[in-house]
Amino acid sequence: MIWAVVVILLALLAYEVYSAANIKAQRFVKAQTMSGSNKVLLTFDDGPDPVNTPRLLDLLDELHIKAYFFVIGEKAQQHPEIVREIVRRGHKVGNHSMHHNPFHGFWGPHKYYRDEIMAADEVLRSIGIHTNLFRPPLGITNRQIAWACKKAGLHVVAWDVRSFDTRNEPREIVTKRVLTQMRPGSIVLLHDRLDGVCDVVREIVTKSELEFVR
């Protein structure tokens, strides 16, 4: 009997951890998806990067594609002109927290709301950007983060295709991973802070027969 209780508790704990670490589980927040669309949305986290983001913007112009950029508050504070340029070129900007520390969400909802969500929002507003889009660092969600997002009136944007481009693998592997998973209505997670992001995006778009958001 005791072992049965232990097994059940461990199973519940495993489910809780899985749900927190997997934004696609939709356990704590009802994240925005592209369900019902026949197009693919490219999204980029962790910018702006002073070198790679401008190059990526030029490439997206060349390919006639629009994307979402989830920027870190402290980086936006350092490079406000790049964030403005993202919007000027017709892309969407989202809040990606102030410091990109995934553990801040476990410190309490009020602190997360104040120090991560609203601090980044104030930076964006100071450079003329108003957004209601949010993506938590690493896609980690829990009840505290859900409360903070609701209080801030933010729509959390999920993904269903994770490129794992941060693993420092050859771009051919990253490209194949994305192309294999993409479907009509997919949201692809990439990172504009990485060297080689433009090569990956070009290959994804040119090798896929799917339609992208334009």
Q: Report, as residue numbers or ranges, the catalytic residues.
A: 45, 191
Q: Burial-class residue 189 by CB neighbours within 10 Å (0-12, 13-18, 19+).
A: buried
3-state class (DSSP) for residue 129: coil
Amino acid identity for residue 25 in this structure: A
* Of 102, 106, 119, nearest in space to 45 by CA: 102
Measure the N-to-C terminal CA separation of the chain; round to a whole number of Å: 58
3-state class (DSSP) for residue 45: strand
Contact present, 96 and 43 (Cβ < 8 Å): no
* Measured distance CA(128)–CA(68) in Å, rounded: 17
For 78, 149, 195, the CA distances from 154, given in Å and listed in that order, are 23, 5, 30
